[in-house]
Amino acid sequence: MNLANKLTLVRIFLVPVFMFFLLVKIPYGEYIAAGIFVLAALTDSLDGYIARSRNQITKFGKFMDPLADKLLVSAALISLIEMGKISAWIVVIIIAREFAITGLRVLAASEGITIAASFWGKLKTITQIIAIVSLLINNFPFSLINVPFDKIAITLAVIFTLISGFDYLYINRKVFHSGSK
């Protein structure tokens, strides 16, 4: 197992650790959880870079890397619902987009087509991470100056989630017609 795949497994292992610190009432737990979330999110960029730079892209990595990402973000968002920090409809939009694009990728793969991450997809990921972290740390330091950065960040995350979803579906619409007569 190469280093990139090990980092992906670390990200998966960090999900329950993140949730423990977030949901168990301990001093500064939300801040510790936010640090773990950021660390896990950084492993996503790092494992992809390592796999590409060392030409070590594997079937395991192609399957597990996106799964690890979805587990991390979904765990954070669902936990934020439980904590009353985010509305369920926002989380449904984000997770529904993930299901739709994962389904699109599976369908494309069955036709021998690989769908690479797009600019909008990367922007979606960045805004989701920023929004989740700002919600985890109670909008600090912006709460000190009464700026609703967390609300702005989650709004942008939803907007870019929708844009990226429609972008992937539109650009890859030919996948839905492959094999049909």
pLDDT in tens, 35-62: 999 999 999 889 888 888 998 888 888 8
Report the amino acid identity of residue 98: E
Using a CB cutoff of 8 Å and minimum separation of 24, what contacts does 94-97 make?
Answer: 94/128, 94/157, 94/158, 94/161, 97/161, 97/162, 97/164, 97/165
Residue spans of the domains in the chain: they are 1-84, 86-181
pTM: 0.90
